[in-house]
A and B are shown apart, each in its own frame.
Chain A
Amino acid sequence: MKKAGRIILFKRAHSFRNGLLPILTFTLLLAPAAFAQGQGRGGGRGPAGPPPPPPVAKAAAPWDPTGYWVALVTEDWRYRMATPPKGDLTGVPVSPAGRAAANAWDPAKDEAAGNQCKAFGVAGLMRMPTRLHITWVDDETLKIETDAGTQTRILHFKPTPGSQGEGGDLQGVSIASWDRSIPVMGPGRGGAPPGASLKVVTTKMKAGYLRKNGVPYSENTVVTEYIDRLEHPNGDSLLVFETEVVDPANLATPFWTSSHFKRQKDAAGWNPTPCAAH
């Protein structure tokens, strides 16, 4: 009896597969067309009406970036908690021009010229020992404030000529998106991967320093950040900024760092302090 039952089961499984094959083939044949329709009609929901608008960035957020966060300075400590000696460029892939500029660093000159905030620009700010206060300005705009150097970054999910400004300041123009790692040809049958990182691309910034000791980046730098929120079993939440700095003028290769912050339940320790050049 057992054997017979097993045979029947195999037959059923076999016929199930036989039945599935044409359906799969049909689906695969139709998939590119459906994808193309989806691209053209905002998701291909059919001819009945216009597709619903995509959710605003705030509503689409896969995780909550807001609140107070404190930097955990456990890496590059000597370059972040202190001002390293002039010419100490260890770890930074500087170009010859970048090295020459770093060796010419003069903090007194920076102070005198009102450039004491050069190490607090967008390419160096997240490396500062600082707390962050992150809030939604509106449905499409995120704000990051730092108490170190009292800087403010504005991340635009839906940039408009009026909202994003012209740049040219230390924090530049930052365009944000929820990055879901979908391949250029679409997600395929497996669908879009779950979760998402916050991707921020910043350009049009004023030149600044990667480190307090004058390691330079130029105004043509592109800073790309992926920001992830990680939950630890002990209840801690971490915000990790994975940062790529590309500066053909001062760097020989892209410069990569990852900076992590721990979520605070309130504003404890928030202590706005002005920039200092050293």
Chain B
Amino acid sequence: MILNYKKSILAAVIAAAAVCSSHFSFTPAAFAQRANERDQQPTPAPAASAAEAPPVDLTGYWTPPMHEDALERGGGSELGDYAGFALNEAGRLWALSYDPSRVTLRYHQCDAYVAPYQMRATGNFHVWEERDPHFHRLVAVHVWGQTTEGHRVIWMDGRPHPPAWAPHTFRGFSTGKFVGNVLVVETTHMKQGWLRRNGTPQSDQATLVDYFVRHGDHLTNVTVVTDPVFLSEPEVRSNDYYRNIADHRNWLYACDDGEQITGRAPDYVPNYLFGQQPFANEFEKVYKLPLISGKSGAASVYPEFMAKMKTATDAEGLALLKPEPGKTNETSKAANPNPTDGQIHVMPLRNNVYLLVGDGGNVIAQLGEEGALVVNTGAGKMTDKLIDAIRKLAPDSFIQFVANTGFQADYTGGNGKFNLAGRDPSLVGSFFSNQHPEAGNTATLIAHQNTQNYLNDLKYPEEALPTDTFLEERRRKFHNDDSMEMFWEPHSVTDGEAIVVFRRADVIATGDIFNTTAYPVIDLKREGSVQGEINALNDILSRTVYEHEEDGGTIVIPGHGYVCNEHEVLEYRDMMVIIRDRVRDMIKKGATLQQVKAARLTADYDTRYGANSGPWTTDMFVEAVYNSLKNPPAAK
């Protein structure tokens, strides 16, 4: 009985400490964790075995001697040197397209390092333990990298990883356990970043297993990155550190973005067209190696590659600088970010704004003393559960407003039921009541006029149609102690799109303009265009602020996919500009649509967003880009 009693207290204290530690943490790494905890309340009691005393003390100040890959970690490798990285075709092409001038763009200037590269980077490290204050059990191991203030929190208390729809951070979400004398850490939920600073990419779908082994004053960290998007097999690297007895006191990394190169167009993203990377052979030239050396992916990792280099031809190397012709487009290797249990899941975002996932497109509810303001209504398959979930969040409230970001069925499927389930007391007793006695008996549905037109064309029932529309610029409301604005994004994926901005909560709902699951569905019939889509993404970026080193800050909710910040929008914007540039270049040279499709101009993004079947294939996307560039809609 005593033991049981003590265990229960222990569990409660550790759980409380864990919650406190993350809720009061200011670091971006804690952002995903906070969201996870909110989504999974109550925080589960830690597993007893996971919180045992560590067999090895890893704490202290550690410095990498940089004896390995000193050039890469210091001045930086040559462009085109991807030797030893198991890059697949998409990874290699992504890297070859990378122009390092991209980091001069405002939004890239403060990019942090993803966890594996953080461990590889130059600079000192500080490792400390977080213990619960009463029983001294290990809650977390903190690893702080000097460069970019890279703070990794390795949770040791047995808590689960966040759900698939939780936000990503550069350092990701890490849990650890000791296996013998080795700390084994598993990390998920990382943002897109570098494996090497010359553009060698790591996707947001990558996971990391890393190992910490201490031998006296020598600490070794082995990282194993698995990335289904850019790697064909796990990438293993190891880092050494020696122990310092003194705190060198330089742990901060001040970074604020600014104008580095003025006069650039907002839709300019430095990149190289396929086959036109002028420095592609720089590495091989310096070391007198065949061109295949830095471009052969997993083959270059193994000893037999030495023999291959002796017989390689220039033609073999040149072929690696472009997409393989005639190859079937790759398809997305990304994990499904949606729940699959048939339930609606609620995640608090900030202040009084919540995310509800589970029924097609993401749904957002803003709650307060006034009625609920809901952004989008899902696919209509689980509308009753969505409405129930909102009622549970605010039992004394009601649904007053519904804002539609666009006409798409995944966002408007529940319009009718939401409308009928709600009411809008602001209309009762107003002049509307004289003309329309029923005014206010249902919720008010807000959208751009073109969205109402599209829904009308689709013969949506009357109760599902927006009743409060706007024609230009924006619609705005001060509601539940926050400013809500809808901004029209003309000619983006359609000509009826609007983003929804909650100013105080600092949450932006993007609708179909941005998602983490597919290429944007540019609907030419409804006057969508690639340039309008780029403009819309830039407009979102103009409204975001990061919290720390391009991490955290403004919360961006995509139409489909996981909770984001500006970095994900930025990478998506870059992709759209780069693909536009490639298609435009071929159009200028007189290419037909078939020739453009055959050139596989999306080959470096297909493993992330591509599809060869379903409602929106890569071919359809490329066709939309091509046609919207050939026949752009009239500017507004």
Contacts and interface: CB of A to CB of B under 8 A. Distances in A.
A193 B181 contact: yes
A74 interface: yes
Interface string A176-195: 00011100000000100111
A220 B242 CA distance: 23
Interface string A13-29: 10010000000000000
Interface in A216-233: 226, 228, 230-233
B303 A242 contact: no
A266 to B, nearest CB: 15
A78 B242 contact: no
A131 interface: yes
Contacts of A12: 1-2
B237 interface: yes
A128 B234 CA distance: 21
A126 to B, nearest CB: 12
Contact of A195 (B67, B179, B301): B179
Nearest to A261: B236
B242 A256 contact: yes
B305 interface: yes
B309 interface: yes
Given A74-B301, A76-B68, A93-B67, A256 B2 contact: no
A71 B242 contact: no
A57 B407 CA distance: 71
A262 B430 CA distance: 75
A271 interface: yes
B555 to A, nearest CB: 31
A92 interface: yes
Interface stretch (B14-22, B218-226, B438-446, B579-587): B218-226
Contacts of A255: 67
Contacts of A240: 213, 220, 222, 238
B70 interface: yes
Given A256-B240, A260-B238, A242 B215 contact: yes
Interface string B41-84: 00000000000010110000000011111110000000001011
A72 interface: yes
B527 interface: no
- The CB with the most chain B CB atoms within 10 A, among A75, A148, A190, is that of A75
Contact of B287 (A85, A196, A238): A85
B237 A77 contact: no
**Interface pairs A-B: 7 shortest CB-CB:** A195-B180, A91-B70, A195-B181, A129-B303, A193-B55, A258-B238, A77-B84
A278 B158 CA distance: 51
A70 interface: yes
B31 interface: no
Contacts of B181: 180-181, 193-197
Contact of A258 (B6, B68, B186, B226): B68
A81 interface: yes
Nearest to B73: A91
Given A13-B2, A81-B306, A258 B287 contact: no
21 contacts: A71-B303, A75-B68, A77-B300, A91-B70, A129-B302, A129-B306, A147-B303, A193-B56, A197-B181, A228-B211, A230-B184, A230-B222, A232-B209, A233-B186, A233-B209, A240-B213, A253-B65, A256-B65, A258-B240, A260-B222, A260-B236
B318 interface: no
A202 interface: no
Interface string A143-172: 000011000000000000000000000000
Contacts of A71: 302-303
B2 A9 contact: yes
